[in-house]
A and B are shown apart, each in its own frame.
Chain A
Amino acid sequence: MAGFRHRLVRAAAWVVGAFTLAGCALIEIDGSMTTFDPAGPNARRLDDLFWMVFWIATAVFVLVMLGLAFILLVFRDRGQKEVREPKQLHGNAKLEVLWTVIPALILAAIAVPTVSAVFDLTGCDDDAMRVEVTGHQWWFEYHYPDYGFDTANVLVMPVDEEVCLEMTSEDVLHNFWVPAIHGKRYLVPGQITLLRFEADRTGTFQGHCAEFCGLSHSLMRAQVDVMSRADFEAWAAAQQVPTLVPGEGTLAYEGFEIYRNRCIQCHAMRFDQDDLSISIERSAFNGPDLTHFASRAVFAGAILPEGTESREDALKRWLADPPYVKPGSFMPNLALSAQEIDALIAFLGGTE
């Protein structure tokens, strides 16, 4: 029986080790994409469901493993002389019924909250504010029908009220995911899918395109700014006004010229002089609307600026060679000179 105790000790050691490891992990990970820190009722509902099923599954697993461990410790053949041949049991109808019914019951218990949550959490309330989300390779576009402007990469929404995302894609499948606010939903070309967004805490939340959508799927991220209703209205108002054409002769104006000759092919922009404005429809190919570019914390699919990088450096890198930063990028390398880049940065810097 010494061997038996020995084995127990070893097993215990393993378990402790595993748990400490897991513990470290919990501390170590800051988790800006974690699903365990919900910031809204929907995400919280999902979180609760997960832990419910997680603990049930864990219980089942532990029971099975205990059974297995017992069997291995007790019935293992250690070459003892005295052990006799085992009874040749062929089965037991009662047991069969038992381990058919019990799992069935457990599953039924899981099924009830599952189904109710499915129906509660799909679709939107009709009076919810609509935001039209369009997926592109590799960035998200947001259109605010009630206010009539477009923005990109950063989704801005008011706190404590439901916002209904009406989503579609312009090219391939994408999958819009902001773990803190709700689960995922595909963006399907030619179809509309709905996602009910609601946050009960202001702040900035990270998101990511979760469906494989080609070369730069890994670089298709999203950011959500949740703010008070008042701040949101202010922001929306600011977004509605067209941006100023910089004064002649300034560096910014050179940048404006470059925009008009080159960038305009893909990037729409609304100016205070209407005749200059071009809208998405008029642009040959649809890149992000740059009207209020400077008001967005991140750009290029919400991947830039990286870490502590300054916005300038990030823009420099990007404008110098987009496909290098983002493989397959539909924005080509325009072979811009250093001062052309500076001019553009100056111009874009002014688009508050």
Chain B
Amino acid sequence: MDITLETIISGKKLSNPLMNASGILGDAPDAIRLLNSMGFGCIVTKTLTLRPREGYRPPIIVPLDYGLINAVGLANPGIRIGAELVFAARNNGIPIALSIGGKTSKEFIELATIAMEYDPDFIELNLSCPHTPGYGIDAAKTVKAIKDIVCSVASIASIPIWAKLSFSRNLVSEAEAALSCGASTIVLINTIPAMVIDPYIKTPILSHGWGGLSGPAIHPIAVYSVYRVYEELNAEIIGVGGAETWRDVIEFILAGASAVQIGTGLIRKGHNIVREIIHGIKSYMREIGAKSIHELIGIAHKK
């Protein structure tokens, strides 16, 4: 039998375990086509909110040697673009997750209701954006708030729900809350609050002051997060954070992830990154004698 990179998320087969991370290019049909051309097994949209958002004024990103800090401010054209995005993905025959972000569980229900009209394959709940007041970690600060949002959405959802969390001291309880409400999958992790100050200008560089750190810097924190949640809850997990080589992706999978999202890596390594990683994973699997992703998931845990 030949090597296969297929993986299963929320019961659905993906041709490979790689997807883009939410917020990277997924807010216009042209961008969906661009993402599709890169070879991903699934596409995730930019987090969409009820109304369009302008986001912060540039500079919204600071590139660092080991990642980047962004404070885009959830700029997006609003949930209604979802129809076109799902349509573009369908046309390209690629599964799509619609990412939604609200300030309250009521907003999340409204968003999910609209999202379901567009019939995406999955809905990703952004419970973890760190730099946009009212949204993300602000809306989902406590285990109770997470439960409230996920249970509300799950109660009306007819398609699988992913809960995207970030690193926190209560990560395991947060993930448990989301799963207990019916989330099929935990997405780990979002960016971590961070700041860079220019010593001569003597102010923070980002217009918003602080932003979220992504890229290689957070990769070992993300691997830890995936490992812990898998160890404690045996959950279905999508790993995200600093994946830019096949080694990074395999680390996530051995730690317990069934799929891996790539954000910052697209910039640091270029648009060919998906093909390079797939090539690397295949040679690796050949070298160690593995036939499928499935047999690698979570095996770094002591048996």
Q: Is the A/B pair a real complex?
A: no
Seen from chain A, the residues whose Cβ lies within 8 Å of a Cβ on chain B are none
Seen from chain B, the residues whose Cβ lies within 8 Å of a Cβ on chain A are none
